[in-house]
Structure 1
Amino acid sequence: MTAGTSLLPPDTAVGRVALRVDDLDRLVDFYTSVVGLAVLARTDDQATLGAGGRPLLELVRGPDAHPRSREEAGLFHTAFRVPDRAALGAALSRVETSWQLTGASDHRVSEALYLWDPEDNGIEIYRDFPREEWPTADGRVGMDTLPLERDALRAESSGDDALPDGADVGHVHLEVTDLDAARAFYEDTLGLGVRAEWTGAAFLAAGDYHHHVGLNVWSGRTAPAAGRGLDWFELVVPADALAAVRDRVAEAGIAVTETAEGILVRDPDRLAVRISVGE
């Protein structure tokens, strides 16, 4: 495909992310008190968390799954997007008060905070700059990693204890074993367009977003996903786009599992992607 173009419609978005966890109670407490999600549904073995009544995170108790090894592919981070700087400042205050921040960056398209949950799943909480301010050229977007001034951000905090209405999962970033193979799957089979490339990483999106899926090989992962961590993530597409995705998957010889909302497929590292139809 031409640089930056995608086969998926521009209103494609990331939906929910599901994690296999060991200590469900502890993870629910963390994601509500630190990240700021609300519990939307809960059973003994599963919890659905979200913002503004919208489900964003599924936590599933997986006691038989071993902790993810250093060799296994999997989640780099789930990126929760907030609508404004006041909400990002509030997130910074919650993390600094109750947890530990591992990084804070200005990416030229967004401002982002980084942390790990209690079972070492990566998390990003971020807000986008207005799109007209993003540096773009030749179908690509110019992202970078620059220091973020935390004092100024902290001063703009709304003081809220929860993520506001409008918060969502803006993107998912994965650690893969083979960047070329993963890129081919997400670009040629699913239909995302490459929006940026760094050494050992690629960032893909539908439409002109900076990225819905990030891929990297920075940690030298060598084995498919098998342990705790990412169970699946969801790309939500318009109804008329699902058939084309199903056709491309079939042409690639990849197994398809039908779901109530669409289909489930696995990437070259056995990471599950749900392609669901939006309302």
Structure 2
Amino acid sequence: MSKYHTADNLYVDNVTLMVKDIDKSLKFYTESLGLTLLNNKSNIYELGTKKRVLVILIHNENALPKERTTGLYHFALLLPDRRFLGQLINHFIVINQKIVGGSDHDVSEALYLSDPDGNGIEIYADRLDTLWKYENDEIVMSTEAMDYEDLIKHAYNAKWTEMPEDTVMGHVHFHVTSLINAGNFFIDTLGFNQMLYYGTSALFLSNKGYHHHVGLNTWNGVTAKNRADNMVGLVGYHLNVPKDEEEALLERISFSKREILNDENGRYIVDVNKVKIYF
């Protein structure tokens, strides 16, 4: 398991999505991605690996289709190593799974695709952190062509049947309307650190030196509306908070004047996009 995604790290460890067609969604997440259905109660379905829940689906057959809003750009599943990424590429070729593309980001190699409701997904493998580069105290990340041939060449020689059990939620990337406001919230209130200001439209944040646990961008426009409550997309996400940092987080939340609320899923606050953050 990644040392940047343990109980001692501040990071998003699962996401909750509203979907319209649960049969289509379950087929995609279990057969195409290889996640396991771990629990189902009423209209809520928990999927992940044998070790952890990664994605929670809320079925709403009357949900509105995806629109250009704030909220989820993509959630990113981090594989244990790049040989799994090559194996997954082979699997997608066999089942004819459509992808949006693939990129080499210097720190990682990543595939991009969408679920049946248009929720963005990244599946990636990190390069060793000893190979990460820095300039002016910021991580160096770029977007170059992925070397599919090399990934396939070094892939595990086995049929893809399930997501590796050490897969984690590597990061979550959000559409926001203001990098300043969103950055202040994720840094000053939640406790993340700035890793890279990418041009004028994206910001990457992390905890304890990871290249990024959170991405923020304004690519849907600075006037984008928040997702409607009955629209497919990101409903909430869970923040893993190290035990020795919980008191400090509660103090920062109090100082920010944000209200801590409770529902059937536990305590939460709302982020800059009015999305629930459970912790």
Query: What TM-score do the two structures reach when normalised by structure 1?
Result: 0.89
Q: Distance in 1 between matches of 2:50 and 2:144?
A: 31
Match in the other structure for 2:30: 32
Q: Does structure 1 retain, via aligned residues, the 8 Å contact 2:77–2:124?
A: yes
Give structure 1 stretches of 5+ with no counterpart. 1-8
Give the letter for the 2:236 counterpart.
Answer: W
Q: Does structure 2 retain, via aligned residues, the 8 Å contact 1:105–1:147?
A: yes
State the shift of 1:95 in Å: 2.4
Q: Does structure 2 retain, via aligned residues, the 8 Å contact 1:52–1:167?
A: no
Match in the other structure for 1:85: 82
Give the letter for the 2:134 counterpart.
Answer: T
Q: Secondary structure at the match of 1:242?
A: helix
Q: Once the two structures are superposed, what CA deviation does each residue of 1:181-210 show, in whole Å capped at 9, x if it has no partner?
A: 111110111110010111200011111001
Tell me, yes or no, if structure 1 residue 122 matches structure 2 residue 120. Answer: yes
Tell me, yes or no, if structure 1 residue 94 matches structure 2 residue 97. Answer: no
Q: Does structure 1 retain, via aligned residues, the 8 Å contact 2:8–2:241?
A: no
Tell me, yes or no, if structure 1 residue 246 matches structure 2 residue 243. Answer: no
Q: Distance in 2 between matches of 1:44 and 1:100?
A: 30
Tell me, yes or no, if structure 1 residue 51 matches structure 2 residue 49. Answer: yes
Match in the other structure for 1:132: 130
State the shift of 1:123 in Å: 0.4
> Superposition pairs for residues 217-232 of structure 1, below 5 Å?
217-220=218-221, 222-226=224-228, 227-232=231-236
Q: Distance in 1 between matches of 2:248 and 2:262?
A: 15
Q: Once the two structures are superposed, what CA deviation does each residue of 1:151-170 show, in whole Å capped at 9, x if it has no partner?
A: 11122222322111210110
Question: Given the superposition, is the C-alpha separation of residues 261 and 211 from structure 1 closer, same or farther in structure 2, using an over 3 Å criterion?
Answer: farther
Q: Does structure 2 retain, via aligned residues, the 8 Å contact 1:177–1:224?
A: no
Give the letter for the 2:77 counterpart.
Answer: F
Match in the other structure for 2:278: 274
State the shift of 1:240 in Å: 2.4
Match in the other structure for 2:169: 169
Q: Distance in 2 between matches of 1:216 and 1:265?
A: 21
Kindly report the root-mean-square deviation, in angstroms, between the aligned alpha carbons of the 2 structures. 1.9
State the shift of 1:138 in Å: 4.3
Q: Distance in 2 between matches of 1:94 and 1:231?
A: 30
Q: Distance in 1 between matches of 2:29 and 2:205?
A: 27
Q: Does structure 2 retain, via aligned residues, the 8 Å contact 1:76–1:173?
A: yes
Give the letter for the 2:75 counterpart.
Answer: T
Q: Secondary structure at the match of 2:28?
A: helix
Give the letter for the 1:61 counterpart.
Answer: H
Runs of 4+ aligned structure 1 residues displaced above 3 Å come to 258-263
Q: Distance in 2 between matches of 1:112 and 1:201?
A: 18
Q: Distance in 2 between matches of 1:31 and 1:65?
A: 19
- Judge which range, 227-236 or 262-271, deviates more: 262-271
State the shift of 1:86 in Å: 1.4
- Paired-residue identity, %: 34
State the shift of 1:97 in Å: 2.9
Q: Distance in 2 between matches of 1:53 and 1:25?
A: 24
Q: Distance in 2 between matches of 1:96 and 1:174?
A: 29
Q: Secondary structure at the match of 1:125?
A: strand
Give the letter for the 2:49 counterpart.
Answer: A
Q: Secondary structure at the match of 2:106?
A: coil
Give structure 2 stretches of 5+ with no counterpart. 1-6
